[in-house]
Amino acid sequence: MAYEQIPYEFTDIELPEAVAAFIEEADRRYDSYQAEGLHKRYPRYVPSEPAQVYAALKHVRDAGLTLGDSFIEWGSGFGVATGLAALLDYAAHGIEIQEDLIEKAESLLEYQQVDAIFINGSYIPEGLVEYETLGTTDLEFDNMGHELTPIYEDMELPLNEVDLFFVYPWPGEQGMMLKLFDLLAGEGAILVVYFGDREINLYRKL
């Protein structure tokens, strides 16, 4: 293990007007998504609490924890965390495997005039495979001889040069996401993990 946890305790903060408007619109769209029954396509998908995510990302920025301004959200869904990072002046990217969620994220950010880039694909790069064991998910190097790919398709920046990662892991995936961070991130990179209501952890790659 080549990362350390950074002390962080969530506290409520006052949201800037633009951030509050962005979150309100995201909530409205997600409520509509549920009302139409579209959430049944992805029954495990549960959004994080945006205000809490914003507070954690703002803490990272204000404390000067990152070396630069590049940001990736693993499994970006509606793109809310990606949009919040962009509102904090990060060069924000969201990685999402479901194309229709990419479309919803892009529509939300365009409507709110927030700039970010979304990439349709898996956040697990070539060279790694995901597998389930004892109710949890883990990673291993594949047995096809593929080298670990240090970059996502359509993204010019190598993963070991990304400054800030964010993820809200599904149950059983928490350990896998930390392992992914350990394998891909460069020295000094920060990972923000939303585990649930008012439970957010920060990690630094050593």
Convert the pLDDT of each residue in 162-183 to its tens digit: 999 999 998 888 999 999 999 9
- Say how far apart CA 187 and CA 170 lie, in whole Å: 26
At the topology level of CATH, where does 53-205 sit? Rossmann fold (3.40.50)
Write out pLDDT tens, residues 55-82.
999 999 999 999 999 999 999 999 999 9
Is it the case that residue 39 has pLDDT exceeding 60? no
Indicate whether this model's pTM tops 0.85: yes
Q: What are the extents of the domains in the chain?
A: 53-205
Predicted confidence (pLDDT) at residue 146 exceeds the cutoff of 80? no
Instruction: Output the pLDDT for position 84.
Output: 98
| Rounded-to-integer distance, Cα 117 and Cα 94, Å | 6
Report which of 89, 59, 57, 61 is spatially closest to residue 73, judged by C-alpha positions: 57
Is residue 149 scored above 60 in pLDDT? yes
Q: Please state, for a pLDDT cut of 90, what percent of the chain lies above it.
A: 71
User: CB neighbours of 188 closer than 8 A, spacing ≥ 6?
Assistant: 66, 67, 163, 204, 205
Distance between start and end Cα atoms, the chain: 9
Mapped onto helix, strand or coil, the DSSP state of residue 130 is strand
Q: What is the mean pLDDT of residues 5-31?
A: 95
pLDDT band at 129 (very low <50, low <70, confident <90, very high): confident
Q: Is the dihedral of CA 116, 121, 122, 127 positive or negative?
A: negative
